[in-house]
Amino acid sequence: MKIFFLTPGSGDNFYCENCMRDNSLARCLLDCGHDVSVIPLYLPVNFDNLSSNTSEIFFGGVNVYLQQKFSLFRKTPRWLDRVFDSRVLLDRVSKLAGMTSTESLGPTTIAMLQAEQGPQKKELDRLINWLVENELPDVICLSNALLIGMARELKARIDVPIVCLLQDEDEFVDALPESFAKQSWQLIADCGQYVDAFVTSSEAYASRMARQLAIPDAKLAIINPVLLYEDYKLATEVPDRPVIGYISRLCADKGLDILVDCFIALKDKHENLRLKIAGGMTNEDKPFVKANIQKLSASEYMDDVEFTPTFQRNERFDFFSSISVLAVSEKREPSYGMYALEALASGVAVLLPDHDIFRQYQKDLGEVIQLYDRKDQGQLQDKLAFMLSDPGQMSQLGRAGRQKLMEVYQPAATAGQLLAVFDRIMRDY
């Protein structure tokens, strides 16, 4: 089967769960013998050990911005557009401009959802022409519903089945100014008719998006989460000093401030305790991060905090090997929580808020997933103190978590579930 993944790049500035999920799915399908091509959108995509066809960048972030702001750039020749699509330029701009800021992306989000009727029509034409010239795929897989605007034109001009993955779109859309958020949800729902199947790994998120977008049950599929275990080094030694780890985007929704408060409170009684923070950020996150650094500095515990402001994808493997327990205090309902799976794959214990997806993981994996009442910060503090009081038991729990994870969420089985969705829609097409 020939499969094209249309995947937005994050510029590797922060911990992007969509990117890592797409990477794992693409590699699983390749391992199953299928022809997989990854088509990066907006910013470069840097996948781990992905041996597939990777095309040039489409809807390059600089061109999308210029075409949105200035009508002149909607008619420029390709040789000039190619200059703005330079990987070096896009890498630099993604770090300097905070291109993922939701506050400023309302008009561009609407334009992308309007696709052939929007300012970036030239980009969509180029993508479709490239698809036609490079042998049509059997199925196109959109990384998330924010790309759904192009589905109608894809159907009209190349007519192949389209699958849309669902993961945390609400986090982005709901952060837009209210008028843009409302219009975005309506456009996404309207474009759903051109998608043959929606796929997610969270039962709760599937129900939520089915209500939000009026997705019929026949179009909705739930597959297991996917992770490639061979990438992860099993933590073989317990850290000399207990270390709480946090890895996710450094923003308010992910609850870094909650964990910082908890660390300060615990530190008063556990002087050997350390905190390790990683995950990267966008420009809009910087004031929030600065406030938390100031809070740690005022507590005089900053010397016991290892803070990594930038995000390097491969360094996260070493990160998991260096902590005693992972705690990410998500405030919103997440749909995946990749960091939890990565920690368990590294043999590290996890403590997470009792959101629906983590309840689902606990149901599937058992007590290797430790939960606390997300409304009770004191319970988070107490459970962390208890877990860190017995390093040997935490190490044992983490190892049991890795074993259970490998038994229950097998990558080949997840690939099979996704392929079954592809087969069904191709049969009915």
Q: How far apart are CA 13 and CA 319, in angstroms?
A: 16
Judgement on whether residues 404 and 419 belong to the same structural domain of the protein: no
Judgement on whether residues 342 and 241 belong to the same structural domain of the protein: yes
Res 414: pLDDT:
96
Judgement on whether residues 302 and 373 belong to the same structural domain of the protein: yes
Judgement on whether residues 389 and 301 belong to the same structural domain of the protein: yes
Q: Is the pLDDT of residue 96 over 70?
A: no
Judgement on whether residues 369 and 421 belong to the same structural domain of the protein: no
Q: Is the pLDDT of residue 127 over 80?
A: yes
| Residue 178, burial from CB neighbour count under 10 angstroms (0-12, 13-18, 19+) | exposed
Tens digits of residue pLDDT in 190-205: 999 999 999 999 999 9
Which three-class secondary structure state does DSSP give residue 216? coil
Res 148: pLDDT:
97
Confidence band of 101 (pLDDT split at 50, 70, 90): low
Judgement on whether residues 274 and 208 belong to the same structural domain of the protein: no
Q: 314 or 428: which carries more pLDDT confidence? A: 428
DSSP label at residue 42 = S
Judgement on whether residues 159 and 302 belong to the same structural domain of the protein: no
Residue 364 parent element (H or E): helix 356-365
Tens digits of residue pLDDT in 343-357: 999 999 999 999 999
Query: Please, are residues 222 and 360 in contact by the beta-carbon 8 Å criterion?
Result: no
Q: Is the pLDDT of residue 98 over 80?
A: no
Tens digits of residue pLDDT in 21-31: 998 999 999 99
Res 372: pLDDT:
97
Give the list of residues 6+ apart from residue 129 with CB closer than 8 angstroms, or none.
none
Residue 245 parent element (H or E): strand 243-247
Judgement on whether residues 157 and 285 belong to the same structural domain of the protein: no
Query: What residue numbers bound the domain in which 270 lies?
Result: 230-408
Region 362-389: what's the mean pLDDT?
94
Judgement on whether residues 191 and 221 belong to the same structural domain of the protein: yes
Q: Is the pLDDT of residue 109 over 70?
A: yes
Q: 149 or 10: which carries more pLDDT confidence? A: 149
Comparing 44-48, 141-145, 409-413, the range with the smallest average pLDDT is: 44-48
- CATH number at 197 reads 3.40.50.2000
Total domains, the chain: 2
Contacts by 361-368 with C-beta closer than 8 Å and gap 24+? 361/337, 364/408, 364/409, 365/401, 365/404, 365/405, 365/408, 366/404, 368/344, 368/397, 368/398, 368/400, 368/401, 368/404, 368/405
Res 102: pLDDT:
62
Judgement on whether residues 311 and 363 belong to the same structural domain of the protein: yes
Comparing 15-19, 80-84, 362-366, the range with the smallest average pLDDT is: 80-84
Tens digits of residue pLDDT in 80-95: 888 888 877 877 776 6
Judgement on whether residues 256 and 142 belong to the same structural domain of the protein: no
For the entire predicted model, the pTM comes to: 0.92
Average pLDDT, the chain: 90
Judgement on whether residues 203 and 325 belong to the same structural domain of the protein: no
Confidence band of 55 (pLDDT split at 50, 70, 90): low
**Residue 369 backbone phi and psi in degrees, to 5:** -95, 110
Res 176: pLDDT:
92
Confidence band of 220 (pLDDT split at 50, 70, 90): very high
Q: Where would I find the H helices in 134-250?
A: 151-157, 169-173, 178-191, 203-213
